[in-house]
Amino acid sequence: MSTLSTTPGDSLDGRRIIVVGAGSHIGRHLAQAASTAGAEVLLAGPSTAKLEATAATLATPAAGIHRVDLADEESIAALAARAGAFDHLVSTAAMPANGPVSGLALDAVRRAFDAKVIGPLLLAKHLAGQVRPGGSFTFFSGVAAWRPAPERVVMATTNGALSFLVEALAVELAPVRVNAVSPGIVDSGAWDGLGENKESFLEHVAERNPARRTGTPDDLLQAVLYAMAAPFVTGTVLHVDGGGRLA
């Protein structure tokens, strides 16, 4: 289980945190770490079964389990109705639509925009009025926006659009803070599908990165903690990619 290293001023004791995407990968790590650090964690995502699996791993009981589909505004409105006042919302949601432009399916492209752009906009629409003083939204962008690659056009575009969205929301929702974390290649479980090729892939990425390593879930957790705790940071994209966007 991941942990968040906090200073006394960064304590999550009593903070109410909504994690959208808590059913897997970084969202699950974040929910576990926030719970261990003393937060009340509300788990949200499209799969109730996965959310229940995450809840079973938390240090303290989940404050709620809510099925949310970022393509479904009614489910987002229902989350707002049940969540009550809260301190921070973090969304790690992503629905990649990879492949050559000539073969892209429109439904997949729309789902990708729902997860990364329209969904975050609707989360802000329905939940911004419930954020406690000093609270924030943190969304997950990604290195593909700054380092586009063949067959990753939709990924680059949605992540780039999100980076502009957080700037606009930071102005509109002020003083509620809005930021993004942009991961590079992180060994969070998302690459396990590569099987025996995973290690060679990560080694190749590490050789190219200026930091000479790939990321860990804790690297991202520390960035999220900073985004939540830093009162003078808003409208910002925190690049947690080992310099991968520069390589």
pLDDT at 5 over 80: no
pLDDT at 10 over 70: no
| Mean pLDDT of all residues in 185-196 | 84
205-246 per-position pLDDT tens digit: 899 999 999 999 999 999 999 999 999 999 999 999 999 999
pLDDT at 4 over 70: no
**Mind spelling out the 3-state secondary structure of 33-84?**
HHHHCCCEEEEEECCHHHHHHHHCCCCCCCCEEEECCCCCHHHHHHHHHHHC
42-73 per-position pLDDT tens digit: 999 999 999 999 999 999 999 999 999 999 99
pLDDT at 6: 43
Q: What percent of the chain has pLDDT over 70?
A: 96
pLDDT at 247: 83
- Name the DSSP letter for residue 162: H
φ, ψ for residue 6, nearest 5 deg: -120, 150
